[in-house]
Structure 1
Amino acid sequence: MNINTTLRILFATMLFASCTVAKVAVPDAFSSQAEELRVKGLQGFTFNQSLNFGPYITGEMKRGWDMSSKWQASQISFRPQDQLLRFFNIQTDNLRQTEKNKFQFAIRDGKLMADVFAFETFTERGKVYKSNSIFGEVSQTNYQHYDFSAAIVPYNYSHGQPWKLVMQSEYDRRKDTARNLLDLPYASTAYYATDGKDSITIHPLYIKNVTTGGGKSTKLLGPPMLSGYELRIEDGVIAVVDILQPTVWMYKELDEPTKLVTAAIGAAILLKRKQEVHNE
């Protein structure tokens, strides 16, 4: 198991065991001008899955087959550091794995409708250290590439060209600037949506504090936790997507077609398989 994964599981267990509440931080200036739309339909079985929040309803979710592959083989190396590991009876394997999945759905608000076609891929390369100690196997990630893309196609209204949603990130251990155990790993990212004319930038939001059952704010153990995403047009926030307590906050003054596109982006983000890729 990856050391980072072990820590995240431990922190999450302590978080929920202590009856604390973690949620995205929504700016006060924005929340006073936004609608809070709680998302229903994410829990339970994914068969015949459908989401609804505020006036927005998705059609039945159609998912393709989830495809994954994993390759692990003993590393052949004569480097001094690897020879030293063998002296202590620690074996090293190379690890490669890939994942792919796709899904599609329609979203409507009673008047307008759009189709969404999404595709998600994940690639990872690393090493696995095996020993007879209590740790068993410990993995080290050397490279990760994540790509989530979706086409949002207007169905019964005209609002320019179809929108393309892109969420890409790449992690390279050789370029990682994180030095402390609780630092977030550095990854290059590109998160945005565009129709070729207008663009929406997407910014991950992290939290460092949680609220206890008694209403007291306390610092989160471990590195900051991904809590959601902020959507912006130029310098203005138009929406916040909370992935911890599934909610879409949407700016009230948006026109209806832009609201539908924003709702489609929020639904696609909530439905994708992976969220905090580099800490899973």
Structure 2
Amino acid sequence: MNKITAFLVLGLLVAGCTPFKPALTNADALTEYKVKGRQGLLINQKLSFGTYSTAKVKRSWTKGGNTRLPVSVSPAVDFWYPELLSVDATDKSQTFSFQLSDGAQNQSDVYASSHFEAERLLVGNNPNSVVNIMRDLIGQDIDQENMFYAQVFVNRDPKPWQLVLDNIESQKNAKKYVGLFEQSKNRYYQLKPITHLQTSQGPKAMWMGAVGYEISNPAGQTVAAVSLMDNGFVYLSDTENEDRFLLANLCALLLLQQNIAE
């Protein structure tokens, strides 16, 4: 059992209430979706919830998908873009990629690594680097060797959204930790661990750990959430279609990375 799962199980045992449902700050504004495809064999795994579904999830890949190529070989341009994760991942055994669609016009390409060296994200004084944006917005640095890092390319946008998350810290210091999903200083979401369970007597705090994440926009409004218990649940607000699709990608990432090391 990996450390992340151990924290989650211990927190649930201490909470001592069933059935387990996360206590969300604005549950009435979110629509709940059951997740299919998270449990069981990971061979040819496909994940789905609501109208969103992935193609076959590729694990331990050694080459990127056919739909994405490096943005440019020009240093002047590459300064504004992160290194393409699909080309050079640190630990191939801890990587996965997938494509997500919503049954309409939206499609994405997603690449992730659960053992990513944070120093690879340090790019000097570039104000658009995820490290500097995280420092400015959240007031914390990225200094871990095994971060969960992902890039999400939506439709034909050449610049990815980046997810930076410390799985261990988000469980050990769940009440204070904040993760980041961003494309620029003005386009980002924050991830806050869910530390309360919903019971018949109301929200009940867990002694330690977290059962998922609430996702908030720059205005501090919760626009999505994901429960990582059992098969999982996704919660989405009634936002613009493309924004919901982006948030669906983030939720799928969080659901899929939980069992990558099991």
Normalising by the smaller structure, the TM-score range is: 0.5 to 0.7
Distance in 1 between residues matched to 2:212 and 2:111, nearest whole Å: 21
Displacement after TM superposition at 1:197 (Å):
6.1
CA radius of gyration, larger in? 1
Q: Structure 1 CA distance, aligned partners of 2:54 and 2:245?
A: 11
Work out the CA distance in 1 between the residues paired with 2:3 and 2:186.
42
Q: Note the 1:68-107 alignment, pairs <5 A.
A: 101-107=94-100
Q: Which whole-Å CA distance do the structure 2 matches of 1:237 and 1:165 have between them?
A: 19
Over residues 210-268 of structure 1, what are the superposed CA-to-partner deviations in whole Å (9 max), with x where a residue is unaligned? 64xxx456966742x3011111221222111111251111111x221211111111101
1:232 maps to what in 2? Answer: 216
Tell me the TM-score normalized by structure 1: 0.58
1:195 and 2:183 equivalent?
Answer: yes
Residue of structure 2 equivalent to 1:164: 161
Q: Which has the higher helix share?
A: 2
Map of 1:82 onto structure 2: none
Q: What residue identity is the alignment partner of 2:182?
A: T
1:50 aligns with 2:46: yes
Structure 1 unaligned residues grouped into runs of 5+: 67-97, 124-142, 173-182
Inter-CA distance 219–154: structure 2 relative to 1 (3 Å threshold): closer
Question: 1:117 — aligned with what?
Answer: 111
Asked whether the equivalents of residues 192 and 215 of structure 2 are also in contact (C-alpha less than 8 Å), the reply is no
Counterparts in 2 of 1:264 and 1:41: CA distance versus 1, 3 Å: same
Decide whether the 8 Å contact of 2:196 with 2:205 is kept in 1.
yes
Contact 2:101 2:108 (8 Å CA) reproduced: yes
Secondary structure of the residue aligned to 1:234 is coil
Structure 1 or 2: more strand by fraction: 1
> Who is 1:251 aligned against?
237
Structure-2 separation of matches of 1:2 and 1:270: 15
CA change 1:34–1:149 in 2 (3 A) is: same
| Corresponding residue for residue 78 of structure 2 | none
Larger relative contact order, structure 1 or 2 (CA cutoff 8 Å, min sep 6): 2
- Aligned pair count? 204
Gaps of 5+ in 2: 63-90, 118-142
Describe the SS at the equivalent of 1:202. strand
Q: Distance in 1 between matches of 2:7 and 2:165?
A: 25
Q: Which amino acid aligns with 1:251?
A: S
Q: Could you tell me how far 1:8 is from its partner in structure 2?
A: 7.0
Alpha-carbon separation, structure 2, partners of 1:99 and 1:19:
38
Q: In structure 2, do the counterparts of structure 1 residues 120 and 6 end up closer, same or farther at CA, with 3 Å as the change threshold?
A: closer
Asked if structure 2 preserves the Cα contact closer than 8 Å seen for 1:145 and 1:170, the reply is no
How far off its partner does 1:144 sit? 6.2
CA contact (8 A) 2:4 2:167 kept: no
Which position in structure 2 is the counterpart of 1:153?
Answer: 153
Partner of 1:260: helix, strand, or coil? helix
Which amino acid in structure 1 is aligned with residue 164 of structure 2? M
Q: Which amino acid aligns with 1:118?
A: A
Is the CA contact (8 Å cut-off) linking 1:192 and 1:199 kept in structure 2? Answer: no
Which amino acid in 2 is paired with 1:53? F
How many Å apart are 1:203 and its aligned residue?
A: 2.6
